[in-house]
Amino acid sequence: MTALPPDPALPSAAAEAHAPEGDTLPSSDNAAGNAAVPPRFDPWSAAFVRDPYPAYDALREAGRAHFFAPSNQWLIPHYDDVSALLRDRRLGRTYLHRFTHEEFGRQAPPPEHEPFTTLNGEGMLDLEDPRHARIRRLVAKAFTPRMVEELVPTVRRLAAELIGGLYADGGGDLLARVAEPLPVAVIAEMLGIPPADRGLLRPWSAAITGMFELNPSPETARRAVRAGEEFSAYLRELIAARRRDPGTDLISALIAAHDDGDVLSEQEMVSTVVLLLNAGHEATVNTTVLGWLALFHHPDQLRAVRERPELLRDAVEEMLRYDTPLQLFERWVLDDIEVGGTVIPRGAEVALLFGSANHDPARFAEPHRFDVSRPAADNKHLTFGAGIHYCLGAPLARVELTASFGTLLRDAPGMRLVAEPEWRPGYVIRGPREMLVTW
Ligand code: HEM
């Protein structure tokens, strides 16, 4: 068994100096372009963000847990480990249900990060049981499979309208014209946000989710705080209006949701709505454009799914696996764990590498092959997570992706890529900046 890793509270340079031999990262550079040198895990490099998979191969070959000093985290690249740790209650998205910041050896978020801290911290995604279970149960009473089912015609109509507009113009930016507006419109419709206010949602969401990248800058934090403040104030007014005059929307259903006399507090409702908006569209946008990019880069697969629409279900799962839109999720280690002979102590943080897990040859045959006929039933990718935080919106995401891919494949049979897209710099929430298409 390897010796104990560095004190996670140490600054990263000191931590690196203590990192146990054999657990540090392959140390060459991606940009060197030398095939003999293993590519490096470097989330701040554009080349890595575009194609992290060769670096993941090197990480998996080098071991099961790697200390990464720049973010002071343990990288976990193997499918079985990522899957097991997502379900392991010795880890958590927060530690505050068991320890104070001081007890855990971490600093409280700076007071100037309010109201972002509360907004984020009161949503189910950043809570652990029992509060997580309580809120998820109440939200699930409002956000039901039936509600998703009833949304299907709306999703199809919105997809057809957006795609029709792009088609009428002979092409344009698929991201700005379809991939982005569709999930935002669906969530806005589901929540009952008045049409005149919908333009506010995307900028708020983009500003807030900037905080989920590794080591966000002070400016990113300021923007997130401002957006959190504005969005919360907006939602408090909307919730008050729905209390006075309930409708058939999800906000009214959240107000009405009861569990044994228990209801959501106003802050829990605000945090839930913000979470549904953020969780509910960033990944769907990126899955859409990354999926199309994979299809454009594999013309035989594009032809197959165009000629055989019955492959759509398998193809959507393969797109979710092949180029994973959310690459990394973090967990705090609440009690010592051991991964591949390395003890990771309480107080450390692990970074679960979803993209790497989804390309692990121990789980997927020929993982780097994009195969739209890989049977969905056997395509157990981790893109929607696992365990208690498993994506609550996965059924809705699948409905949206099926509607938008299905409509585009059917109604725009000659659609092709105009130019290789530029990428945004983000690694955790990852994808192109635009996608110009024509036909
Ligand atoms: C392709 C699209 C999507 C992907 C890849 C995705 C992925 C994920 C992942 C990986 C998690 C778990 C994170 C963790 O364990 O740390 C998660 C949680 C969640 N997602 Fe999604 N998601 C997508 C779409 C949606 C949609 C459309 C909604 C709702 C409108 C949604 C709502 C949620 C919520 C509420 C949670 C928190 C669940 C909990 O903590 O119990 N997601 N999502």
Q: Where are the domains of the chain?
A: 12-438
Q: Is the CB of 63 under 6 A from ligand 1?
A: no
**C-alpha span between 23 and 19 (Å, rounded):** 7
CA of 216 to the centre of ligand 1 (A): 21
The domain over range 12-438 is classified in CATH as 1.10.630.10: yes
Nearest Cα neighbor of 127 from 105, 98, 103, 104 is 98
Lowest model confidence (mean pLDDT) among 211-215, 243-247, 332-336, 397-401: 211-215
pLDDT at residue 213 in the model:
73
103-119 mean pLDDT: 90
CA of 414 to the centre of ligand 1 (A): 33
pLDDT at residue 439 in the model:
87
Q: Is the CB of 329 under 6 A from ligand 1?
A: yes
Beta strand 349-353 pairing with 73-76: parallel
- What is the 3-state composition of the chain as percent helix, strand, coil, each rounded to the nearest 5? 55, 10, 35
* Residue 4, pLDDT above cutoff 60: no
Tell me how far apart the terminal alpha carbons of the chain are, to the nearest angstrom: 58
Structure confidence by residue, pLDDT tens digits, 51-90: 999 999 999 999 999 999 999 999 999 999 999 999 999 9
The pLDDT confidence band at residue 115, using thresholds 50, 70 and 90, is confident
pLDDT at residue 280 in the model:
83
Coil vs helix vs strand at 342: strand
Top mutation candidate among 97, 131, 391, 428 for ligand 1, by most atoms within 8 Å of CB: 391
Cα dihedral sign, 32-15-81-425: negative
CA of 51 to the centre of ligand 1 (A): 23
249-261 mean pLDDT: 92
pLDDT at residue 41 in the model:
95
Orientation angle between helical segments 181-191 and 266-297, nearest 10 degrees: 150
CA of 275 to the centre of ligand 1 (A): 9
Beta strand 328-333 pairing with 91-92: antiparallel
Q: Give residues with Cβ within 8 angstroms of 397, minimum separation 6.
A: 280, 283, 284, 287, 384, 391
215-240 mean pLDDT: 93
